[in-house]
C-alpha cells in the first residue's frame, strides 16, 4: 500500500468532521469528531466514540458501494478517526432518499412516521446553514448554477442505486433503511459520492421492534445514543 501523504493544515471544520490538506493536492484527510449537533447546531452535545463508529461504518459502506460500481471519494481509512479521501469540489445540494416517511417529511406533509412510501423518493436541499438547508427542486439547482442537468441526472441515479445497495445489505442485518442524506462533488470531471454514511446521516430502524439506531436518539433525547451507534456498527460488521 502506498504511504499516506503528509497531513498539512486544517482548512475546514464542520459540525462532525475536520478536513486537512495533504502533501498531495488531490487528497484530503477527514477527521471524525465525537461532537454531535442537531437542528442546524441549535442543539449540541457529544456522543462518545461516535467519530470512530462513523469513520469505520463509512469505510464499510463506501467499500460496499465501490464494489457495486458506485464511485466515491473514499481512498482508505488511516486510523480510528481519520480517512483519506479525494478532494472534491462539493456540489452544494444535499440529497435525501426516503423509503419510509420520517423526520422533516412527516412534519412538512402531516404524515405519520413509519408510513411506507410506494417508491423511494429523492429530495434536494440547498446546503446553506444561513437558510437552514431549504428543500429545493432540481430547477433551482440548475438555475442558480449549483449543478448542471447532467450532474443532477447522475446524482439521482447514483442516489437510487446507493439506496438499493444499502437497503439490501441492511435488510440482511434486520435493519430498515428509513432515509439518508448524501453529498456529491466533482473530481477530475466525474461526479463522486462524498461525505460520510453513518448513523448521523441515515435513519436505521430495527426491522422487528422499529427501535431507532441512529442520531434521532440524540435529536429527540431518547437516551442510549452510544449503545445504538455501537449496535449499528456491530450489525454492519457481522
The one segment of 28-36, 78-86, 102-110, 145-153 that binds ligand C5P by CB under 6 A: 102-110
Cell numbers at 10, concatenated: 486544517
Q: How many Cβ atoms are within 10 Å of 228's Cβ, its own excluded?
A: 24
Which CB atom, from 37 or from 151, has the smaller least distance to ligand C5P?
37
Closest CA relative to residue 212, chosen from 184, 188, 179, 172: 179
201 binding ligand C5P? (CB under 6 A): yes
Site string for ligand C5P, 171-190 (x = CB under 6 A): --------xxx---------
**Whole-angstrom distance, CA of residue 171 vs CA of residue 163:** 12
Minimum distance between the CB of residue 125 and ligand C5P, rounded to whole angstroms? 7
Nearby residues of 169 by Cβ (< 8 Å), 6 or more positions away: 64, 236
Which CB atom, from 96 or from 232, has the smaller least distance to ligand C5P?
96
Minimum distance between the CB of residue 5 and ligand C5P, rounded to whole angstroms? 28
103 binding ligand C5P? (CB under 6 A): yes
217 binding ligand C5P? (CB under 6 A): no
Packing angle, helices 50-67 and 225-237, rounded to 10 = 30
Amino acid at each position: 500500500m502506498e504511504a499516506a501523504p503528509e497531513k498539512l493544515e486544517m482548512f475546514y471544520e464542520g459540525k462532525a468532521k475536520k478536513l486537512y490538506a495533504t502533501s498531495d493536492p488531490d487528497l484530503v484527510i477527514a477527521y471524525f469528531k465525537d461532537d454531535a449537533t442537531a437542528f442546524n447546531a441549535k442543539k449540541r452535545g457529544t456522543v462518545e466514540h461516535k467519530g470512530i463508529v462513523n469513520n469505520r461504518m463509512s469505510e464499510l459502506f463506501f467499500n460496499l458501494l465501490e464494489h457495486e460500481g458506485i464511485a466515491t471519494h473514499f481512498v482508505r481509512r488511516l486510523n480510528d478517526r481519520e480517512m483519506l479521501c479525494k478532494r472534491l469540489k462539493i456540489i452544494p445540494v444535499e440529497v435525501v432518499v426516503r423509503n419510509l416517511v420520517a423526520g422533516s417529511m412527516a412534519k412538512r406533509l402531516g404524515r405519520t412516521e413509519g408510513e411506507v412510501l410506494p417508491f423511494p423518493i429523492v429530495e434536494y436541499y440547498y446546503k446553506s446553514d444561513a437558510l437552514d438547508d431549504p428543500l429545493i427542486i432540481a430547477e433551482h439547482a440548475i438555475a442558480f448554477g449549483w449543478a448542471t442537468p447532467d450532474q443532477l441526472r447522475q446524482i439521482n441515479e447514483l442516489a437510487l442505486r446507493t439506496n438499493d445497495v444499502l437497503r439490501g445489505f441492511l435488510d440482511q442485518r434486520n435493519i430498515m433503511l428509513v432515509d439518508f442524506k448524501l453529498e456529491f462533488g466533482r473530481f477530475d470531471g466525474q461526479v463522486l459520492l462524498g461525505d460520510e454514511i453513518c448513523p448521523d446521516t441515515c435513519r436505521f430502524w430495527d426491522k422487528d421492534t422499529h427501535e431507532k439506531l441512529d442520531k434521532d436518539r440524540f435529536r429527540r433525547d431518547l437516551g442510549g445514543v452510544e449503545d445504538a451507534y455501537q449496535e449499528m456498527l456491530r450489525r454492519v460488521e457481522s
